[in-house]
């Protein structure tokens, strides 16, 4: 979009903002700032399989009541066009972020006004509980208002299909077409939330659905009823000011884990995330307060869930008494090994057990699964692809064959009761695994080291390169185009195989992903983020020990950084 088109769009928004003082004030503040105008209006906020996600604020490229309202009207039109009248219902949940409840209630009002049953949780609830409610209530679609683990200035609008899984590429394209046909400022005021409740067109998702969800989570325990372990182990938990507090504590306490200290500064919902502006359990800053609590209480396990409670990060005591953050790959490997081992002992593994992971998740997981004769399915990045495979197994009458799935970005699921990663069940299984090993005098860190000795050391790292704004968007496209033309080596390591998933590879749908297999067993996978202006690079290195792996990884990362800079000059 050129400067004249941006200016025209800006003036249109300004003309329609007279009744919205907050929007008008923000628009006037950028009146003499061409760069801010460009970033706010150079495109429509992207809608894809992850729905919407962006910075809060005024403009067509921002999260606000107008972009959200337009998306809700488009989704309503899609549901009316593709589902019979008796099944036209949409479930809604939301997290603790700024405007999450506002966007959720606005959506409910728009759906109800369009003649669709709107089912909404009466309070903030995690992403997996939305997926469960959809499947329980027989919904045609679902909406989760969240930006997951993004910084505080972000919010998002994730859309789910009738299977409780994030929408497919086909559905996203059809919904997008409906959204694009809508006017940005709507055509009339939807009914009020109170009117919707009184008329029955808006309904609250009840305690019975929530309780059933907790029961299904508890059913994923692999601890035999007759086996006694010390569940009074000291655990520190932080919901990072998000949705996890009630469901995680309820589930843990109902399963006997009562010695849980909550990080008070991060206990209550707060979209400003005052003690961790980037509420991502993958990073140490978000875990710092929890680790401080653990050191004071001499706890050996720290749990943190992200704002919509679909991801979990943990810290465990290391050999020197310090606290070590485990990566998503390491926690996933520990859980996979634990689940397979316990179910093998109990003879509860199905005849053809299946484990599912993404292509950027550690290859070491495949070696663990193979030891227990568990089949492995690799899918594209994004848990919705794991959910789709669970659905396929279910249609084949094999839902019970799915025993575990995980992705390197701290998402885990055991069981087919939902179709997205679940921080509640992951928290339960992590605590169970921790207590089981501790009852046998084994620390989680030591068990991880045993796995490395048994299967060989594998180092996996993720590096993100940011490209904000319109210019950054163009640079990202240029980088991916250039990488498709080369390289033949990374940091002097020859590339033995190049896979371009853009046209579909290994039976997977097309995706803007490149994978370079390296001599010696390592790999580099590169893809643009689907939710942020970033390019992500996943490095996997196999080596005899940590030191050798770290040296090789550092060389690969330095080469990647150099290429990113070169491609953006």
- The residues assigned a catalytic role are 148
Q: Give the separation between CA 155 and CA 53, rounded to whole angstroms.
A: 6
Task: For the chain, give the longest Cα–Cα distance.
Answer: 72
Q: Any idea which residue has 């620390």 for tokens?
A: 443
Nearest partner of 408 among 489, 323, 332, judged by Cα = 332
Q: Give the separation between CA 422 and CA 217, rounded to whole angstroms.
A: 9
Nearest partner of 146 among 269, 307, 268, judged by Cα = 307
Q: Please give the structure tokens belonging to residue 161.
A: 């299909």
74 and 82 Cβ atoms separated by less than 8 Å: no
Q: Give the separation between CA 232 and CA 222, rounded to whole angstroms.
A: 18
The strand ranges marked E within 306-456 are: 312-317, 323-326, 354-358, 375-379, 402-407, 411-413
510 and 504 Cβ atoms separated by less than 8 Å: yes
515 and 523 Cβ atoms separated by less than 8 Å: yes
480 and 536 Cβ atoms separated by less than 8 Å: no
Q: Give the separation between CA 510 and CA 409, rounded to whole angstroms.
A: 21
- Helices first, then strands: H and E counts in the chain: 18, 21
Q: Please give the structure tokens belonging to residue 222.
A: 């692999």
CA distances from 206 to 86, 91, 219 (A): 20, 12, 21
242 and 271 Cβ atoms separated by less than 8 Å: no
User: What size, in residues, is the chain?
Assistant: 569
The strand ranges marked E within 177-311 are: 202-204, 235-238, 260-262, 301-305
Nearest partner of 495 among 522, 526, 469, judged by Cα = 522
Q: Where are the alpha helices (DSSP H) in 439-545?
A: 444-455, 469-485
Q: Report which secondary-structure segment, H or E, holds 30.
A: none
First to last CA, the chain: 22
């Amino acid at each position: 979009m050129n400067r004249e088109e941006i200016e025209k769009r800006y003036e249109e928004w300004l003309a329609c903002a007279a009744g919205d003082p907050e929007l008008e004030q923000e628009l006037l503040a950028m009146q003499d700032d061409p760069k801010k105008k460009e970033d706010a209006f150079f495109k429509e906020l992207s809608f894809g399989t992850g729905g919407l996600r962006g910075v809060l604020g005024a403009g067509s490229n921002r999260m606000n009541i107008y972009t959200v309202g337009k998306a809700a009207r488009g989704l309503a039109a899609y549901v009316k066009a593709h589902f019979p009248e008796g099944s036209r219902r949409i479930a809604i949940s939301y997290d603790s972020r700024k405007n999450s409840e506002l966007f959720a209630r606005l959506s409910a009002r728009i759906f109800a006004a369009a003649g669709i049953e709107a089912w909404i949780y009466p309070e903030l609830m995690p992403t997996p509980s939305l997926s469960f409610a959809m499947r329980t209530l027989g919904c045609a679609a679902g909406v989760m208002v969240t930006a997951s683990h993004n910084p505080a200035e972000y919010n998002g609008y994730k859309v789910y299909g009738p299977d409780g899984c994030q929408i497919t590429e086909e559905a996203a394209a059809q919904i997008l077409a409906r959204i694009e046909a809508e006017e940005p400022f709507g055509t009339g005021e939807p009914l009020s939330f109170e009117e919707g409740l009184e008329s029955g067109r808006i309904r609250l998702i009840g305690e019975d659905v929530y309780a059933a969800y907790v029961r299904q989570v508890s059913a994923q325990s692999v601890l035999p009823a007759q086996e006694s372990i010390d569940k009074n182990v000291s655990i520190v938990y932080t919901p990072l000011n998000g949705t996890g507090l009630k469901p995680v504590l309820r589930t843990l306490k109902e399963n006997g884990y009562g010695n849980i200290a909550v990080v008070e500064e991060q206990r209550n919902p707060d979209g400003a995330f005052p003690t961790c502006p980037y509420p991502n359990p993958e990073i140490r800053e978000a875990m710092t307060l929890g680790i401080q609590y653990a050191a004071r209480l001499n706890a050996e396990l720290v749990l943190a869930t992200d704002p919509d409670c679909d991801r979990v990060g943990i810290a465990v005591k290391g050999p020197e008494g310090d606290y070590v953050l485990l990566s998503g790959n390491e926690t996933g490997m520990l859980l996979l090994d634990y689940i397979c081992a316990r179910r093998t002992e109990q003879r509860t593994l199905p005849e053809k057990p299946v484990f599912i992971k993404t292509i950027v998740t550690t290859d070491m997981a495949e070696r663990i699964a193979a030891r227990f004769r568990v089949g492995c399915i690799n899918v594209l990045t994004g848990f919705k692809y794991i959910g789709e495979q669970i659905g396929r197994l279910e249609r084949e009458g094999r839902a019970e064959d799915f025993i575990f799935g995980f992705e390197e970005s701290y998402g885990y699921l055991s069981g087919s009761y939902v179709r997205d990663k679940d921080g509640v069940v992951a928290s339960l299984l992590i605590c169970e695994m921790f207590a089981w090993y501790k009852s046998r005098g084994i620390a989680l860190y030591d068990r991880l080291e045993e796995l490395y000795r048994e299967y060989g050391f594998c180092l996996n790292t993720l590096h993100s390169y940011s490209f904000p704004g319109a210019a950054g968007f163009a640079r990202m496209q240029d980088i991916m185009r250039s990488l498709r033309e080369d390289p033949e080596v990374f940091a002097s390591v020859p590339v033995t195989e190049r896979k371009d998933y853009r046209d579909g590879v290994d039976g997977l749908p097309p995706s803007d992903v490149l994978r370079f297999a390296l001599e010696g067993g390592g790999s580099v996978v590169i893809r643009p983020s689907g939710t942020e202006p970033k390019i992500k690079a996943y490095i996997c290195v196999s080596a005899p020990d940590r030191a050798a792996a770290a040296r090789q990884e550092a060389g690969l990362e330095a080469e990647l950084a150099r290429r990113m800079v070169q491609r953006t000059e």
